[in-house]
Structure 1
Amino acid sequence: MGKIIVAAVASLWVIPISIVVNKIVPDPYMDEIFHIPQAQQYCRGDFKTWDPMITTPPGLYFFSLAYIASLFPGMWIANAVQSLPELCSPAYLRSTNAFLAIICSVLVYELLINLRPSLGEGKATISALLIALYPVHWFFIFLYYTDVASITAVLAMLLASLKKKYWLSAMVVSFGALAIVFLDDRNYYLMDTAESTKNPSSSKIIESSCCDSGFIDEVLDTALKLWNRKWQVLITFAPFLMVLMSFVTFVIWNGGIVLGAKEDHVVSPHFAQMLYFSVVSAAALAPVHFSLGQATTLFRLFWKTKVCRSIEVLMALCIGFTAVHLFSIAHPYLLADNRHYTFYLWRKVIQAHWIIKYLLVPVYVYSWISIVNVLGKSQTKIWVVSFIVATALVLVPAPLVEFRYYTTSFLVLFLHSQIDDSTKLLFTGAIYVCVDIFTMIMFLFRPFQWDHEPGTQRFLW
């Protein structure tokens, strides 16, 4: 019943807003100018033509072709179209993501039920709808970008793994292959995190510090268990190893992670991305992380082992200052493209004064401490560390700062956090709705012109 409710409620805003967006912005916009013509080539049966500016593999276009083909018989009988290419308009191609967004919300519900059975159907429904409204994810539902498809593929693969359908390896591999085809360097490594996610046997708050051996004990214990069951583990996870090998083969064959525009997507040591991710993710759950109760909890944990906690905080601050000073990259796209909100945050906040970027480091550190604390209430230390490492593998190589790069990591973070306070969830949902309305109004009704380039420009994430 919960799945039906989630799908029905999500449809209530996905369908009408899609109609409005297509009416006001009927032509391809931003990255759609690459994706839509490429998908239309596939609709015409041309699988050889490829736009060299497209960085991601063609998974979305193949899926759209299958989706459009499923709609064609009904549309042809209704005499609405006479050929498949006619149906591959921007509006129908965008509806691919609208359809996937509803599937994605159902997958989130299923994942919550599997990961946190004690949550109950009611709170799982609220949480799933909350994620469906997450502003960055929500916005790109209505455009023909690869984000929604890649997230759906990752969540589907995670769900298959959690249900322990290991003997149905062909199905799991198909999920993995689908994710690989959709994803680029920002999202791929999250799959490794997804495969290793398991609820710990008992809930606990991370209260250990640098002075104890709790984490080392967990690592040794896990390593021993893996060694004792090495053949079982190898057989069980063989499909995922095949996916990993396929990815490595692709990188070697392609000469890089992205397909096109390689000069603009050079792998870089952009460690400041981890700081941006922490504050964006914490702000996305502000009622949880930036509440008086959470601040009090963190202070009490700090006070219990003042010496060790002080060392940890100082180390975190040093790492943060180093990342900001030496590994903060200002990509040319970030500096020049005033259609993205990151352009204004960079210029008006981070670059407002030379000292601002350093003053923000304590905020980044607090955000990470709060995130680790919340995760530690339901996950083991080794899981939390694995999540941080996986997130770094996703984000650090990316030279460009974009909010949508953080979405997959944030969803994994949310799914594995023990957040079940209905008041905080509803408050967060209210914030999301306000942000969604604001960003969509800005996109649709606040267009502007560029002096150096013709056409209508619009604000977006």
Structure 2
Amino acid sequence: MQIQYYFLAFLAVYSFVTLLLFHYVYQTSQQIVDEEFHLRQGKHFCQGRFHIWDPKITTFPGLYLVSALFLSPFKACSVYALRLTSVVASIVNAYFIFVIRKTVAGKRTDARVLLESVSLATLPPLYFFSHLYYTDVLSVTMVLMMVYFGLKEKHNLAALLAFLAVLMRQTNIVWVVFFLGWQVSDLAMRLCLPNAGHRYKLKDLFDTIRILLTTPRLLYRVLIRSCFFYFGFILNLLAFMVFLYWNGSIVVGDKTAHVAAVHLPQIFYFSLFFATFSSSVIFTMIRRMVRFASKKWYITVIGLALFIWVIQQNTIVHPYLLADNRHYTFYIWNRFFGRWWFARYLPIPFYYGVVVLLGFLLFAQHNGQQPPVGFSILWVVASLGSVALQQLIEVRYFILPFLVLRLIQSNVRPSKKLLAMEVALNIAINGLIFYVFFTKEFYWNDYEEAQRVIW
């Protein structure tokens, strides 16, 4: 119970500091990068002009509908009020991060859960966008709520939240599929292997498939129960398939700027993201990573060769990456990866080490624990669908795969000191990012307002 009080104290401080920063961000600039489109559309909906749609917007209108629902009655359609939507969503996110982590930890809830929650709530890219009018923060809110109420077996409410998650960003359909598949796979294994316990392994999954294929009665029970428990999720998937057929693409509005393509190096960029904001996990597992790489040297050689081939054959450089100097990815690419032909190959050993670490987190037993195999396999599939089909390198695409894995994985438990260090690092990075945002400005020929650097 004491942990909850500590978290409520953190939430109070978090809310106070966030509101102060939010006000300072508003005073500094009232239109940042893509807010040009989002704010304009949000004002249209907030003022009841639902027939107007900006063709440059590529996402569903969930964010603007929320603004219309909560702000219109008060006639509060200013930039300040619209942005405040993200602040409120950010505070809600912090709460659900804690209750999800606490639910997963169960009887093992301790100070680690508190520190993990603080670390994830202050994740720098997510925290920064909490001060702007973007879709990402509210999108995370809906996915977190879907996961939490799904874990609590409130299936109808979880399905409604799944619909709202897709309404915020249509790419969230991969997380709806992920959660549905995870729950159905666990249901199937419980019915087929009632004596196997609750932490199913890969062998249990294969045994379940074999039993279902050879026992029609059990297969029928799994299908009937799945349809009964997860009818709302299934309805969401069917509706989304109808949308894809009708629209011809997952993108609405300007389809030319977001054409899907296989871009496997995004997995490597995600590994950099994961390592940067999971220092506690990295330091906990680094010896095991090195031991695996040296003992399984033949796998390491094959893996490194494969990574070299993927980078050589499948690196995609989106025009926005080269042209938009308002994002950190512009500077990282143009001053390192794109500056010398060999630079993009230099981090390969690091990529490999983090990918090995992800394998441990997902499939290896550690401290007598390992995540459910259904979760692990479907997380891989959902993450690939979420990041590896995007041409543009954009850190916002990495937020949900990162959060879902850190929230649910339970086999690696970093020490409190390492978690405290991770929290301190997040706070330092946030401080640096806001310092650059507030102090560095430059001008574009076609904009009167000063431009600033964001994630």
CA contact (8 A) 1:340 1:460 kept: yes
1:207-233 Cα offsets, whole Å, 9 max, x none, are xxxxxxx73553332563673523212
Could you report, residue by residue, the CA deviation over 1:124-152 in whole angstroms, capped at 9, with x for unpaired residues? 33222211110000000000000001000
1:102 Cα deviation after fit: 0.6
Query: Counterpart amino acid of 1:61?
Result: Y
TM-score under structure 1 length normalisation: 0.87
Q: Tell me the alpha carbon deviations over residues 66-124 of structure 1, each in whole angstroms, 9 at most, x when there is no partner.
A: 22146x2xxxxxxxxxxx1xx21111100001001111111111111111113425433
- Separation in structure 1 between the aligned mates of residue 9 and residue 34 of structure 2, nearest angstrom: 33
| 1:450 partner letter | W
Match of 1:188 in 2: 173
Matched, 1:271 2:264: yes
Q: Residue 207 of structure 2: which of 204, 211, 220 is its match?
A: 220
**In structure 2, C-alpha distance between the alignment counterparts of 1:365 and 1:29, rounded to whole Å:** 36
* Aligned counterpart, 2:190: none
Structure-2 change in CA distance of 1:131 and 1:453 (3 Å): same
CA distance 1:219–1:386, shift in 2 (3 Å): farther
2:20 maps to which of 16, 22, 30: 16
Partner of 1:410 in structure 2?
Answer: 402
Alignment equivalent of 2:131, drawn from 116, 136, 142:
142
Is residue 23 of structure 2 the alignment partner of residue 30 of structure 1? no
Higher deviation after alignment, 407-416 or 319-328: 319-328
**CA contact under 8 A between 1:54 and 1:261: conserved in structure 2?**
yes
> What is the CA-CA distance between 1:297 and the residue it aligns to?
1.7
Cα distance in 1 between the residues matched to 2:424 and 2:379: 28
Q: 2:89 aligns with which of 89, 95, 100?
A: 100
Q: Find the aligned partners of 1:13 and 1:251 in 2 and give their Cα distance.
A: 42
- Superposition pairs for residues 18-417 of structure 1, below 5 Å? 18-25=22-29, 27-69=30-72, 72=74, 84=75, 87-120=76-109, 122-166=111-155, 169=156, 171-185=157-171, 187-197=172-182, 201=197, 215=202, 218-221=205-208, 224=211, 227=219, 229-289=222-282, 291=283, 294-301=285-292, 306=295, 309-375=296-362, 376=364, 377=366, 378-417=370-409
Q: Structure 2: any 5+ residue segments left out of the alignment?
A: 187-195, 213-217
The answer to whether the Cα contact below 8 Å between 1:158 and 1:195 also exists between their aligned partners in 2 is no
Following superposition, the deviation at residue 440 of structure 1 comes to 0.8
The AA in structure 2 aligned to 1:88 is: C
**Residues 387/223 of structure 1: CA separation in 2 closer, same or farther (3 Å cut):** farther
For 1:63 and 1:452, locate their aligned partners in 2 and report how far apart those are by CA, in whole Å.
Answer: 31
User: How far apart are 1:201 and its partner, in Å?
Assistant: 4.5
Matched length:
427
Q: Which amino acid aligns with 2:153?
A: K
Query: Is the contact between residue 219 and residue 382 of structure 1 (CA under 8 Å) also seen in structure 2?
Result: no
Report the secondary structure of 2:130's partner residue. helix
SS at match of 2:206: helix
Asked if 1:434 corresponds to 2:423, the answer is no
User: What are the superposed Cα offsets for residues 345-387 of structure 1, whole Å, 9 maximum, x if unpaired?
Assistant: 1112212321121222221111111122133342144532321
- Alpha-carbon distance between aligned partners in 1 of 2:31 and 2:163, rounded to the nearest angstrom: 28
How does the TM-score come out when normalised to structure 2?
Answer: 0.88
Q: Deviations over 1:380-439 (max 9, x none)?
A: 445323211210011121110011110000001111233352111110111111110111
Q: Which secondary structure state, in structure 2, belongs to the residue aligned with residue 405 of structure 1?
A: helix
Displacement of 1:6 in angstroms is 4.6
Identity %: 27
Q: Distance in 1 between matches of 2:397 and 2:291?
A: 34
Change (3 A) 1:348 1:118: farther
Give me the CA root mean square deviation. Answer: 2.3
CA contact (8 A) 2:160 2:232 kept: no
Asked if 1:456 corresponds to 2:445, the answer is no
